[in-house]
């Protein structure tokens, strides 16, 4: 039986995502060898960023302009409107200089020229303009390197059903139908698994699923990923989603996918497959209790078959895990803990072996730990073993501003190859910190940042604007901490990502919203796949006020942070920091 695992657009173009390699590594360890895994995100982007696609789009756009000029436009805005016509005419003027340089921009990012910051920026800007040019044919849809903007709501099953079939506005239909679907089916898979882990993948991913099921109705198609893990109760009610797939795997997928393969080869008793949601006899069945993996029994991720030369970076940065879940689950705003039901720690010696094996197999020392948060004692053991074994990996990870994150441990992390630490500051106002249940103190933040700067470890800070009851003055206290900390924001590799608070489905705050100052929660009736809610507050900034402050803070922080590469991509930033260790960084 042949299993094919697919990762649809859109994701960051400089590194692979961890979901498929984790599944492939486990399945091969368990004796399932006929597996094909494909990162369609980078395959499709590479196809889009080609002169051939540009010429084809240019010709189609010229024909569309001639048709609209001959037959007339349809209204003031929307597809085939006056606005669409004007945008296409403008985009046609962009084309000649873009056409001459798009292939060069890809080459630049894949070569040593990547480390020339001016050329790096120019290449990314040109690629973004090129994608804007391609998108104009599908107006008002807009595709970019890492996201998609549609007029359809990804939280409405009715909108999704329209979007995946919209010949005028869906830029993925043609490339999937003409190239990818025939190529996928030519490889004769018996089971196709599609990993949808980001909102940017929902419409492209479901477009692909629809086309595969249309072309091969008997193909068993399974959707997994964190998006649908957060929509378990919605899938019980929204029967329409089973037009795209035979079933959904929620939470962790290794054992589930293995058992699904066994059942498809044998008795087809899907009640035996953990974490599976499927339809049977007109009913939606959710296999519970949900299963969590023993991560010490898992193998290292397997990236065989990934198109490393297509990624827009000169060297690979591989994702890897040390733990699953979060040891600190109390942050009131955070729904990430749902993805992994409980915290589990992989033995440090296994991670050392993983790193050594991956470095040898894929010829890279660069790694991005995807853990929600590194726990302190295991981190000390891991770093001690890395140093002792002489493993020269270079990596980044996420940590909390914990009281017990000592200078001694940070030094050990640096010696073990840690180049950057990602931290959720969220707020520098102690009242807001406490109200969020962050469990950290400002004095610990100050000391840890100073230690990192002394030890030459780069820092990333997430900050959150608009948590219920937060005032504008409290939000600006956080912003001013970053803006006024010249030593921090001028340190090489520093990055800071302001985020606007969203009331997310499954976040702890939802268990008692009134205690957090939330007066009313609303959701449009049409949004039957919603991952969040609108809300009203009793005090502090209203949501629209918070958005205004967020925009201001984002703009001000952008003035002191090096957006490209450090605020753009952790993987790109890691490569830049590593290069700076061996090549002097020009300043001024």
* DSSP code per residue over 229-297: HTTHHHHHH-GGGGGT-SEEE-S--HHHHHHHHHHHHTT--GGGSTTEEEEETTEEEE--SPP---GGG
What is the H or E stretch that residue 346 is in?
none
CB atoms < 10 A from the CB of 185, how many?
Answer: 15
Count H helices and E strands in the chain, helices first: 21, 20
- Phi/psi region, residue 31 (left: phi>0; alpha: psi -120 to 50; beta: rest), is left
User: Predicted confidence band at 63 (pLDDT cuts at 50, 70, 90)?
Assistant: very high
At a CB cut-off of 8 Å and minimum separation 6, what does 71 contact? Answer: none
Instruction: Give percent above pLDDT 70 in the chain.
Output: 99
Residue 402's pLDDT is 97
CB 435 within 8 A of CB 509: no
pLDDT tens per residue across span 510-567: 999 999 999 999 988 899 999 999 999 999 999 999 999 999 999 999 999 999 999 9
Q: What is the C-alpha to C-alpha distance for residues 284 and 275, in angstroms, rounded to an integer?
A: 13
Structural domains of the chain, with CATH: 3-45+162-286 (3.40.50.2300), 48-153 (no CATH), 315-579 (3.80.30.20)
Cα dihedral value 332, 333, 335, 340, nearest 10? -40
pLDDT tens per residue across span 357-399: 999 999 999 999 999 999 999 999 999 999 999 999 999 999 9
Residue 335's pLDDT is 84
Which of 253, 405, 229, 433 minimizes the C-alpha distance to 331? 433
Which of 502, 478, 485 minimizes the C-alpha distance to 552? 478
What DSSP line would sit under 184-235, residue for residue? HHHT--SEEEEE--SGGGHHHHHHHHHHHHHH-TTSEEEEESHHHHTTHHHH
User: Of how many residues is the chain composed?
Assistant: 588
User: Predicted confidence band at 340 (pLDDT cuts at 50, 70, 90)?
Assistant: confident
What is the H or E stretch that residue 507 is in?
none
pLDDT average, residue stretch 184-209? 98
Task: Decide which of 587 and 511 is more confident.
Answer: 511
CB 144 within 8 A of CB 131: yes
Q: What is the C-alpha to C-alpha distance for residues 551 and 540, in angstroms, rounded to an integer?
A: 17
Instruction: Give percent above pLDDT 90 in the chain.
Output: 96
Burial of 146 (0-12, 13-18, 19+ CB in 10 A): middle
Q: What is the C-alpha to C-alpha distance for residues 359 and 354, in angstroms, rounded to an integer?
A: 8
At a CB cut-off of 8 Å and minimum separation 6, what does 243 contact? Answer: 161, 210, 213
Q: What is the C-alpha to C-alpha distance for residues 435 and 508, in angstroms, rounded to an integer?
A: 12
Residue 587's pLDDT is 47
User: Which long-range contacts (C-beta less than 8 Å, at least 24 apart) are formed by 113-117?
Assistant: 114/313, 114/314, 114/572, 114/575, 115/314, 115/575, 115/576, 115/579, 115/583, 117/564, 117/565
**140 to 169, 360, 560: CA distances (angstroms):** 7, 46, 33
Q: What is the C-alpha to C-alpha distance for residues 206 and 161, in angstroms, rounded to an integer?
A: 9
CB 203 within 8 A of CB 148: yes
**74 to 56, 151, 178: CA distances (angstroms):** 24, 17, 28
Note the Cα 166 to chain centre separation in Å. 25
Q: What is the C-alpha to C-alpha distance for residues 391 and 359, in angstroms, rounded to an integer?
A: 9
pLDDT tens per residue across span 118-128: 999 999 999 99
- Token couple for 520: 């009313």
pLDDT tens per residue across span 17-33: 999 999 999 999 999 99
Assign 535 to helix, strand or coil. Answer: strand
At a CB cut-off of 8 Å and minimum separation 6, what does 420 contact? Answer: 396, 457, 458, 459, 460, 493, 570, 573, 574, 577
Assign 584 to helix, strand or coil. Answer: coil
Beta bridge partners of 460: 422, 495
User: Predicted confidence band at 585 (pLDDT cuts at 50, 70, 90)?
Assistant: low
pTM of structure = 0.96
User: Predicted confidence band at 574 (pLDDT cuts at 50, 70, 90)?
Assistant: very high
Q: What is the C-alpha to C-alpha distance for residues 177 and 45, in angstroms, rounded to an integer?
A: 16
Burial of 376 (0-12, 13-18, 19+ CB in 10 A): middle
pLDDT tens per residue across span 254-310: 999 999 999 999 999 999 999 999 999 999 999 999 999 999 999 999 999 999 999
CB 238 within 8 A of CB 529: yes
**412 to 231, 322, 378, 393, 443: CA distances (angstroms):** 41, 17, 12, 14, 22
pLDDT average, residue stretch 351-362? 98
Residue 337's pLDDT is 66
Going by DSSP bridges, is the β-strand pair 532-537/518-522 parallel, antiparallel, or unpaired? Answer: antiparallel
Residue 583's pLDDT is 85
What does the mean pLDDT of the chain come to?
96
Q: What is the C-alpha to C-alpha distance for residues 238 and 152, in angstroms, rounded to an integer?
A: 18
Residue 506's pLDDT is 87
- Token couple for 438: 């962050």
Asked if the model's pLDDT at residue 588 lies above 60, the reply is no
Going by DSSP bridges, is the β-strand pair 35-39/142-143 parallel, antiparallel, or unpaired? Answer: unpaired
Asked if the model's pLDDT at residue 586 lies above 60, the reply is no
Angle between helices 117-136 and 82-110 (to 10 degrees): 150
């Amino acid at each position: 039986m042949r299993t094919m695992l697919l990762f649809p657009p859109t994701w960051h173009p400089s590194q692979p995502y961890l979901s498929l390699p984790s599944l492939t590594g486990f399945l091969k360890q368990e004796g399932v060898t006929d597996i094909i895994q494909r990162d369609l995100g980078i395959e499709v982007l590479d196809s889009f960023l080609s002169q051939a696609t540009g010429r084809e789009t240019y010709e189609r756009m010229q024909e569309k302009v001639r048709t609209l000029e001959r037959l007339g436009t349809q209204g003031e805005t929307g597809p085939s409107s006056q606005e669409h016509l004007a945008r296409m005419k403008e985009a046609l003027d962009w084309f000649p200089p873009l056409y001459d340089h798009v292939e060069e921009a890809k080459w630049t990012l894949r070569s040593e020229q990547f480390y020339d910051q001016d050329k790096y920026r120019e290449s990314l800007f040109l690629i973004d303009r090129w994608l804007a040019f391609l998108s104009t044919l599908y107006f008002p849809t807009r595709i970019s390197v890492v996201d998609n903007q549609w007029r359809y709501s990804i939280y409405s099953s009715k909108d999704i059903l329209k979007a995946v079939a919209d010949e005028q506005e869906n830029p993925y239909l043609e490339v999937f139908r003409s190239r990818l679907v025939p190529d996928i089916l030519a490889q004769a898979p018996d089971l196709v698994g599609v990993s949808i882990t980001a909102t940017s993948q929902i419409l492209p991913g479901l477009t692909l699923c629809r086309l595969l099921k249309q072309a091969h109705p008997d193909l068993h198609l399974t959707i997994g990923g964190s998006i649908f893990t957060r929509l378990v109760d919605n899938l019980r009610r929204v029967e329409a989603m089973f037009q795209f797939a035979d079933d959904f795997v929620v939470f962790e997928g290794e054992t589930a996918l293995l058992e699904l393969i066994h059942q498809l080869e044998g008795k087809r008793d899907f009640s035996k497959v953990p974490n599976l949601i499927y339809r049977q006899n007109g009913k939606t069945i959710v296999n519970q209790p949900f299963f969590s993996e023993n991560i010490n029994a898992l193998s290292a991720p397997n990236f065989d078959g990934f198109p490393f030369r297509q990624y827009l970076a000169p060297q690979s940065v591989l994702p890897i895990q040390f733990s699953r879940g979060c040891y600190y689950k109390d942050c009131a705003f955070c729904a990430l803990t749902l993805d992994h039901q409980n915290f589990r720690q992989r033995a440090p010696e296994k991670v050392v072996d993983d790193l050594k094996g991956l470095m040898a197999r894929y010829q890279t020392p660069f790694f991005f730990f995807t853990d929600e948060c590194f726990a302190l004692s295991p981190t000390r053991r891991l770093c001690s073993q890395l140093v002792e074994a002489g493993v020269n990996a270079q990596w980044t990870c996420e940590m909390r501003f914990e009281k017990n994150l000592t200078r001694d441990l940070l030094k050990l992390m640096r010696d073990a190859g840690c180049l950057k630490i990602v931290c959720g500051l969220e707020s520098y106002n102690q009242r807001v910190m406490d109200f969020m249940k962050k469990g950290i103190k400002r004095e610990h933040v100050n000391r840890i940042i100073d230690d990192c700067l002394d030890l030459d470890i780069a820092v990333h800070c997430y900050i959150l604007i608009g948590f219920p009851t937060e005032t504008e003055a409290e939000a600006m206290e956080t912003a001013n901490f970053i803006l006024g900390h010249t030593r921090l924001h001028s340190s090489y590799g520093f990055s800071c990502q302001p985020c606007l608070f969203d009331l997310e489905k499954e976040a702890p705050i939802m268990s008692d919203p009134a205690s957090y100052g939330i007066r009313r929660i609303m959701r449009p009736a049409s949004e039957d796949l919603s991952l969040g809610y609108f809300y009203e507050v009793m005090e502090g900034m209203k949501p629209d006020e918070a958005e205004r402050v967020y925009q201001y803070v984002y703009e001000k922080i952008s003035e002191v942070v090096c957006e490209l590469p450090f605020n753009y991509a952790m993987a790109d930033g890691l490569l830049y920091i590593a290069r700076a260790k061996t090549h002097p960084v020009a300043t001024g």
